[in-house]
Structure 1
Amino acid sequence: MSVSDLPKIELHMHLEGAAPPAFIRGLAAEKKTDLSGIFDEKGAYKYKDFWDFLKVYEAATSVLKTPQDYYRLTRAVLEESAASNVIYTESFLAPDFCGGGDVGAWRDYVAAIGQAADEMEREAGIVMRAIPTCVRHFGPDQAKKTALCAAETVGGFVTGFGMGGDEAMGTQGDFTYAFDMAREAGLRLTSHAGEWGGPDSVRDAIRDLKVERIGHGVRAIEDLALVDEIAEAGIVLEVCPGSNVVLGVYPAWSDHPISELRKRGVKVTISTDDPPFFHTTMRREFDRLSETFGWEAEDFMELNKVALAAAFCDDATREVVAKKLEQTNA
């Protein structure tokens, strides 16, 4: 069995960012919206750098206007994930894009997304859980609305709360109120840090937001004392190597610190982030890691175990996924 054929657990994927370009083009045509400027001649997403990527991302998301659009999006994304043999996935959802932060509207979107997830679990065996996220460059006040949306829908499907967006805007500590609200509602916490922000952004997320997982977190490697702290505390890094390389955080796969972080005892997981934007899939991530670092099936099985233990799901769901892993590994 090739490592790319192994079952996979993914903890860091943005639902809108995983939208296949053909799906967005089709939806734009239905809505008579011209989005031709965000695609290249081959029909793939086109952007210059991370900040241009954010603009293209939000432009693509602009045609997702109704719960039904998100129902269709969820099915399309989960079909792609299932094709990579992903058996469990956690997806970031932005209430800002799903009803503008209005709790009533957000409930409708969550219901539609959850319905699609339930259908895909029955049809393809993939389990999905949702992590509402605030968008950092939308500011702390908007983040409070996002946290309220998350808190009002916490349950079997909505299990976590996080933050994405432009790390250059404000500090992690600016969002303490929103994260405190989410924590009090029983949501598990993660935040993007250590992608464009340096090691201090990772330290701030852990100290100020009290997260148990970090989205990316790879630039912690620039401060080995911090790496030791992360390892000792058991903080889990949601690492997205292909994303980091394509966006230029690291110039090549061989320069990526994931192997060194793992050797130093840090719990790492593998994800795609926004797969079509970065021309990747979970199969491709596994293959490239194997080619670059010589990782074998046993390494990826261990990574799956780390991811499953760190997943923001209940014990019953964890047990179901664990049995799927055991059946494949037997």
Structure 2
Amino acid sequence: MPTIQNPSVERLRALPKAEVHAHLEGCFESTLLEQWAKQAGVAMPRPADRLFEFEGLADFLHFLDWACGLAATPQRLAELAYSYSQRLAEGGAGYADVIVNPTHWPAWHGRLPAMIDAIDAGLRAAEQDGLPPVGLCVSLLRTQSADAAAELVDALVALKHPRVVALSIDGNEAAAGRTGLRFAQAFRRAGAAGLRRTVHAGESSGPEGVRDAIELLGADRIDHGVRAIEDPELVALLVERQIPLGICPTSNLRLGVYPRIEDHPIERLRRAGVAVSLNTDDPVLLGASLVGEYALCARAFGWSDDDLRALARHSIGASFANADTKARLVQALSAW
């Protein structure tokens, strides 16, 4: 098929696909945060028109804690979850795995079942309104202890909430250092209990974080993983085991992992045979959209229809959707 240098927004939106790397914490609209902050009598970290201007990953993570602190009621959590489903549908995705990290939400500390119920209420309402289904990946923070990880896994296993599809881990790798050994037991227990495992790695750390995610945490999927490109043997391992990477190009550019899209390794990883997908990470806070990610990379790397279809197929395969949802999306993809 011919190369498409400027695929239309409409065609990219119509491309059947999934999103596998997005954080609920990254879906706050500035107007909503300004309203909630005023109601709570809490100071804004910056003026509203510069609210999403971040100085780097550490500043960004600090902002997440502030924003999540405002979502203190079940109604606000449900509203946020519903709005993510709307955003997902606008991007033409038919399913998503969305990440939520309980440590960022102070009003919900010690109230995990109620927190999941509130998010589930918003996602159920969205599905009833015809919006795409969403699975929930509950995440550890990289700076937590092994005991805290065990407690979270115990809670998730006991809860057996049908919305929860995976255990995740996220946070600043560069600040926390290598933490695979600390969380290995918790991830083993989660896997044994039937939870899938997805791991942030190879973003602010080098390729060693990706290797630890595979060898110590049994990752079914890697979130980011882009710096695996620095280790050819690791790239070969990803290909051999077909462990997918949930890549977020705009996030990597905004947070300084790579200076330009042309320097981003997604195309080299893809050509090496790694199963890569495109995702928004923290879409509102970073100004990313799913269609925008596809358009950005298609223009930069000259992707053809076949390339776009392969990316979409990888996104569906990498998702933790049920078999029926995957089959429906694959069938729709074949007709695109």
Q: Does 1:80 align with 2:87?
A: yes
What is the distance in 2 between the residues matched to 1:23 and 1:73? 10
Q: Does 1:285 align with 2:302?
A: no
Report SS of the residue matched to 1:235.
Answer: coil
Which residue of structure 1 lines up, in the alignment, with residue 3 of structure 2?
A: none
What is the distance in 2 between the residues matched to 1:303 and 1:113? 29
Contact (CA 8 Å) 2:17, 2:315: kept in 1 or not? no
Which residue of structure 1 lines up, in the alignment, with residue 197 of structure 2?
A: 189
- 1:222-253, CA deviations, whole angstroms, 9 ceiling, x for partnerless residues? 01111011111111111111101111100100
Moved more, 188-197 or 152-161: 152-161
Amino acid at match of 2:268: E
What is the distance in 2 between the residues matched to 1:63 and 1:291? 38
Match of 1:63 among 51, 70, 77: 70
Q: Does 1:254 align with 2:262?
A: yes
Contact (CA 8 Å) 1:96, 1:146: kept in 2 or not? no
Shift of 1:183: 1.2
Q: How does 1:146-161 map to 2 (within 5 A)?
A: 146-161=152-167
Shift of 1:156: 3.2
Shift of 1:219: 0.3
> Cα gap change, 1:177/1:230 in structure 2, threshold over 3 Å: closer, same or farther?
same
What is the distance in 2 between the residues matched to 1:141 and 1:311? 28
Contact (CA 8 Å) 1:95, 1:149: kept in 2 or not? no
Shift of 1:110: 1.5
Contact (CA 8 Å) 2:201, 2:225: kept in 1 or not? yes
Shift of 1:144: 2.3
Q: How does 1:190-229 map to 2 (within 5 A)?
A: 190-229=198-237
Shift of 1:158: 0.8
Amino acid at match of 2:163: F
Shift of 1:101: 5.2
Which residue of structure 1 lines up, in the alignment, with residue 180 of structure 2?
A: 172
Contact (CA 8 Å) 1:154, 1:185: kept in 2 or not? no
Which residue of structure 2 lines up, in the alignment, with residue 18 of structure 1?
A: 27
Shift of 1:191: 0.6
Report SS of the residue matched to 2:317.
Answer: helix
What is the distance in 2 between the residues matched to 1:315 and 1:4? 24
Q: How does 1:314-325 map to 2 (within 5 A)?
A: 314-325=322-333
TM-score by structure 2 length?
0.90
Contact (CA 8 Å) 2:30, 2:48: kept in 1 or not? no
- 1:114-146, CA deviations, whole angstroms, 9 ceiling, x for partnerless residues? 121122123243111100000112333322222
Aligned pair count reads 324
RMSD between aligned residues: 1.9
Which residue of structure 1 lines up, in the alignment, with residue 126 of structure 2?
A: 120
What is the distance in 1 between the residues matched to 2:159 and 2:23? 19
> Cα gap change, 1:184/1:85 in structure 2, threshold over 3 Å: closer, same or farther?
same
% identical equivalent positions? 31
> Cα gap change, 1:193/1:309 in structure 2, threshold over 3 Å: closer, same or farther?
same
Shift of 1:43: 4.8
* Unpaired stretches in structure 1, ≥5 consecutive residues: none
TM-score by structure 1 length?
0.92
What is the distance in 1 between the residues matched to 2:103 and 2:158? 15
Shift of 1:295: 1.2
What is the distance in 2 between the residues matched to 1:124 and 1:300? 25
Which residue of structure 2 lines up, in the alignment, with residue 273 of structure 1?
A: 281
Match of 1:108 among 103, 110, 114: 114
Contact (CA 8 Å) 1:243, 1:272: kept in 2 or not? yes
Q: Does 1:32 align with 2:41?
A: yes
Which residue of structure 1 lines up, in the alignment, with residue 313 of structure 2?
A: 305
- 1:266-286, CA deviations, whole angstroms, 9 ceiling, x for partnerless residues? 010111100122211111111
Amino acid at match of 1:106: L
What is the distance in 1 between the residues matched to 2:223 and 2:52? 23
